[in-house]
Structure 1
Amino acid sequence: MKTTMFPAPRWTALAAASIFALQACGGGGSSGPAPSPPPPPPPPPGNQAPVISSPSSVNITEGVTGTVYTLSATDPDGDTLTRELLSSGDAGVFSFNAATGVLSLGTALDFDAPQDANGDNIYEVTFRVSDGNGGQVTRTVQIRVQDAGGAAGMALARVGTGFSLPLFLEGIPGTDRVVVLEKGGRARVLNPDSGAIEGVDFIDLTGDVATAGEQGLVGIAFSPNFTTDRTVFVNLTNNSGNTEIRKYQTYTSNRLQLDPATQDVILTINQVDEFHNGGWLGFGNDGMLYLATGDGGGNDPNADQNGQDTGTLLGKILRIDPFGADAYPADNNRDYAIPAGNAFPGGAGGEAEIFAVGLRNPWRSSFDAQTGDLFIADVGQGAIEEINRMRPGDAGANYGWAQREGTQAYDGPDSPDYTPPVAEYGHGGGPTQGNSITGGYVYRGNIAPIRNHYVFADFESSNVWSVPVSSLVVGSTLPSSQFNRLNDDLVPDAGTLEQISSFGVDNSGQLYIVSLGGSIFRIEGAP
């Protein structure tokens, strides 16, 4: 079992300084992309197939008509070529001149009313070129429609620096500030427009937080009614090594500082090791508080099965009501109500807090405010990193760990009842690979290339990708070949984009990237 720097899969020089270590992780599914059609029959001996030289994708702006793509091909043998536009995909939207290879639009496309099959403004068409002697080649091309009213590109601005092992960022409701969590226990307030860090911390929990392995101050969530109730919840590792969810209120006169005297521990979860602790928490559209927990990992030989054990809160998505009447008045470690609609009503068959099971080490989750769906990035064991999509009605969903790692069998009997990941990628150092996923957000802003996309990254490879949220469909698994790599567009104006520990959003929906090295970046429209 590999041990890695947080959340990467192997130790680096920083590990010697007691910086996060993670074990390579996963989570589960079974179905994959539809099989490719059978290849064409081989050409007669001596005949070589045609070669297509035109690109596999082009960008166009909404509102244009006329030529949008030209299919260019040659034949090594000098044969006369026949060009065809196949009827699959979005071919019906376009016109094709087989003699010239020109694909054109007679009617302009509208970015806000997409006509493509997936509704993501990526139109896919497939061409076939034949030489008349048995040689042929096909090419699927993406015609990407961009918003004429949005930014034509992206830029990455460093808006904060000087943080010590930052792990998370969240906008402070009702303000233009964001709070940045540091592994060691400080929550610091940043003005991203000026780069200034407030002189007084949001809260300093340095003496309360254990920091070995993946421990630390790892999560924060603001009450849906923060502007009136001033309530905040934090997720940390206490000095006993256990997960602790605390409730605080800000000072009445200062919404940029928590009052330590208001501390109330509402949930303690005993951990088996310093790894696979999870750490994210957030409120859904239903007003309930959700928590993502890891399986405990580390040296516990039974931790693999915590994801499937409904008698433990480890390896799960939990859902509680922190504002309701205490369902456990005799238990000091549980101070909240259990809402209706969880996986095990009344605790029959499992712990009442459980909403979904089968996770290994969910490192960063987020709600899409538009749909209410929860996107869960689960770090893989040794082969697969995955993204799961949990809808509001998916109580009882089982994401498969440790019987599955992604769509692959791992440890124990498989089951068709496991929900496959909506996307996955393999381990390695290539442009569609990595070793430790960092979950991101569905971006609903005005930056055209990532609008309505889920944006995420890998901690070790530092690859940043996006995929149209419409392509992340529960029950099927998007392969990494369909990821859009963003690194060429996200070259920071200062510093280096690496060791991505988290993403974050502010109150206006702007998307941030958190680097463990101490910098905060914001994705902006290109000037």
Structure 2
Amino acid sequence: MKSLLNIFLLLISSFVISQTIALQSFGTGFSSPLEITHAGDSRLFIVEQGGNIKILNSNGTINATPFLNVSPLISTGGERGLLGLAFHPDYANNGFFFINYTNTAGNTVIAKYTVTLTGSNPSPNVANTTATILMTINQPYSNHNGGSLKFGPDGYLYIGMGDGGSSGDPQNYAQNINSNLGKMLRINVNSTVSPFYTIPPTNPYVGVAGNDEIWAIGLRNPWKFSFNRLNGDLWIADVGQNAIEEVNKIPSPLPNTVNFGWRCYEGNTAYNTSGCVAQSATYTAIATPLHPENCSVTGGYVYTGSAYPNLQGKYLFTDVCNAKIGIINSAGSLTYSQDFPGSSFVTFGENNVGELFIGDIGNGTIYKITDSSLGVANFDKNNYKIYPNPSKNELYIEKSSESYPTEVNIFDVNGKLLLSQQTQNIQRNIINTALLSSGLYIMNIKDNQEVSTTHKLLIE
């Protein structure tokens, strides 16, 4: 009882200070995790730089057998390795997924794999090892491989490519429309004949000079990008050179061509403008975190889950040199969470209901992102009396002189609805919590004025 009460008091004090991001250990023991994604269900797929893809289940367990192991195919170290994973939008029916890795020659490979989901011997947790190579892209240096790939709301596969490496893009690949380096590529993978993809007709260089696969140019090293699953906005974090990191937001519907400016511009500042277009012809970043506190930005996601209303619509990202989580709101304002000392965050992930996760390459831990500022102060907004909290078997909600509760919903920290109760205009409503296990829960209360408030609830 004493320890639970102490935890609750700490939660109260954290809210009084500010909105805070909290991390809950969700899965441990991974080796250099670089990507976290899902296949439309509750499983998380963890990509390890060395070549394994492992399944992290919703209860925190890890399957003993990897989903896929491609370690013999890849070169690792530095910025090379198995870097990206994306499941086809119709994966539930076709079993297709795609990976991005650095092969033993040091070049980028985009490959298609399958899972047997139907028939007499389905194997949803272990992929087939036969691959179809869609493209191989020469990498002149060992760094700036990019690595992310995601399906957009248009059904096309987007592939983030770095500028080829070294420093300062010495060959000017990012602005060269005849090179796939320093670009965002966009392809249609619904083809059964070589090269097993087709070109979207709206790609900017279809029928004219330039590589048909290119959608956008001017990227240095897009280390993680994501689509807002609710509205289709594209967010790209692009690693800076010496002084400025960059986060770009491209609202949906996406334009048919974009120039993000590198090597001409670092962030929104001139870098090497020889032979360059005017800065007004390039895309303006929504955020430009500065060095030396930052050094290598890691892109995240817009929070679209239901467990933490204070995070709704906010974009979360980080930097490997800055163990804080950056938060960009809908107005473009940037704030930071508290510091997480000793952390080396390099990837975010989103589950099938929009809850967010973050991976630490150093300790191999996947954390669930939570909002520890939820609701304790909200008790005063509606003047209810809510007690006892911590609770055991029953929770009481007394109405105020101005309003009364009409509906109470209690969720676990993963956003799963566990209890829903209609309440009445009486002095004290009783909520039976006896069936809830000990732990932290999220309680949402709607009142007769259609105002909803969210609170933390601790069950002994």
Whichever residue aligns with residue 185 of structure 2, its letter is L
- Structure-2 residue corresponding to 1:241: 106
Identity value in percent: 36
* In structure 1, distance between residues paired with 2:38 and 2:286: 28
1:344 aligns with 2:205: yes
Whichever residue aligns with residue 297 of structure 1, its letter is G
Give the secondary structure class of the aligned counterpart of 1:227. helix
Deviates most, 410-419 or 364-373: 410-419
- Structure-1 residue corresponding to 2:433: none
Aligned residues: 348
Whichever residue aligns with residue 94 of structure 2, its letter is D
Residue 259 of structure 1: which of 117, 121, 128 is its match? 128
Q: By how many angstroms is 1:276 displaced?
A: 0.4
Aligned pairs for 1:60-209 (under 5 A) are 154-174=21-41, 176-193=42-59, 195-209=60-74
Change (3 A) 1:256 1:441: same
Contact 2:81–2:102 (8 Å) recurs in 1: yes
* In structure 2, distance between residues paired with 1:367 and 1:299: 29
1:501 aligns with 2:346: yes
Residues 271-293 of structure 1, C-alpha deviations (whole Å, 9 max, x = no match): 11110010000101111100110
Contact 2:183–2:215 (8 Å) recurs in 1: yes
Q: By how many angstroms is 1:154 displaced?
A: 5.0
Change (3 A) 1:265 1:313: same
* In structure 1, distance between residues paired with 2:27 and 2:212: 41
Whichever residue aligns with residue 222 of structure 1, its letter is F
- Structure-1 residue corresponding to 2:244: 384
Residue 397 of structure 1: which of 255, 258, 265 is its match? 258
Aligned pairs for 1:273-284 (under 5 A) are 273-284=141-152
Give the secondary structure class of the aligned counterpart of 1:421. coil
Whichever residue aligns with residue 283 of structure 2, its letter is T
Residue 166 of structure 2: which of 278, 298, 312 is its match? 298
Change (3 A) 1:336 1:183: same
Contact 2:248–2:285 (8 Å) recurs in 1: yes
Give the secondary structure class of the aligned counterpart of 1:449. helix
Q: By how many angstroms is 1:414 displaced?
A: 5.1
Moved over 6 A (4+): none
Give the secondary structure class of the aligned counterpart of 2:127. strand
- Structure-2 residue corresponding to 1:421: 285
* In structure 1, distance between residues paired with 2:192 and 2:95: 19
* In structure 2, distance between residues paired with 1:426 and 1:296: 23
Q: By how many angstroms is 1:524 displaced?
A: 2.8
Change (3 A) 1:514 1:203: same
Give the secondary structure class of the aligned counterpart of 1:254. coil
Change (3 A) 1:357 1:300: closer
* In structure 1, distance between residues paired with 2:319 and 2:254: 29
Contact 1:295–1:307 (8 Å) recurs in 2: yes
Contact 1:153–1:449 (8 Å) recurs in 2: no
Residues 114-153 of structure 1, C-alpha deviations (whole Å, 9 max, x = no match): xxxxxxxxxxxxxxxxxxxxxxxxxxxxxx9xxxxxxx86
1:524 aligns with 2:389: no
- Structure-2 residue corresponding to 1:86: none
CA RMSD of aligned residues (A): 2.0
1:366 aligns with 2:211: no
Change (3 A) 1:508 1:256: same
Residue 486 of structure 1: which of 325, 334, 337 is its match? 337
* In structure 2, distance between residues paired with 1:273 and 1:300: 12
Contact 1:156–1:523 (8 Å) recurs in 2: yes
* In structure 1, distance between residues paired with 2:49 and 2:30: 10
Change (3 A) 1:325 1:200: closer
Change (3 A) 1:241 1:361: same
Give the secondary structure class of the aligned counterpart of 2:173. helix
* In structure 2, distance between residues paired with 1:208 and 1:300: 30
Residue 97 of structure 2: which of 232, 235, 238 is its match? 232
Q: By how many angstroms is 1:419 displaced?
A: 1.1
Structure 2 unaligned blocks of 5 or more = 1-14, 373-439, 441-460
* In structure 2, distance between residues paired with 1:390 and 1:293: 17
Change (3 A) 1:420 1:154: closer
Residues 141-171 of structure 1, C-alpha deviations (whole Å, 9 max, x = no match): xxx9xxxxxxx86532101111111111112
Residues 427-465 of structure 1, C-alpha deviations (whole Å, 9 max, x = no match): 023xxxx11100000111231332110000111111211
Give the secondary structure class of the aligned counterpart of 1:345. coil
* In structure 1, distance between residues paired with 2:135 and 2:169: 25
Contact 1:153–1:448 (8 Å) recurs in 2: no
Contact 2:190–2:196 (8 Å) recurs in 1: no
Q: By how many angstroms is 1:210 displaced?
A: 0.6
Deviates most, 416-425 or 378-387: 416-425
- Structure-2 residue corresponding to 1:286: 154
Considering Cα pairs closer than 8 Å and 6+ residues apart, tell me whether 1 or 2 has the greater RCO: 1
Change (3 A) 1:297 1:524: same
* In structure 2, distance between residues paired with 1:301 and 1:159: 39
Contact 2:310–2:371 (8 Å) recurs in 1: no
Contact 2:287–2:334 (8 Å) recurs in 1: no
Aligned pairs for 1:39-58 (under 5 A) are none
Change (3 A) 1:299 1:402: closer
Contact 2:217–2:260 (8 Å) recurs in 1: yes
1:335 aligns with 2:196: yes
1:217 aligns with 2:82: yes
Give the secondary structure class of the aligned counterpart of 2:310. helix
Change (3 A) 1:467 1:497: farther
* In structure 1, distance between residues paired with 2:342 and 2:226: 21
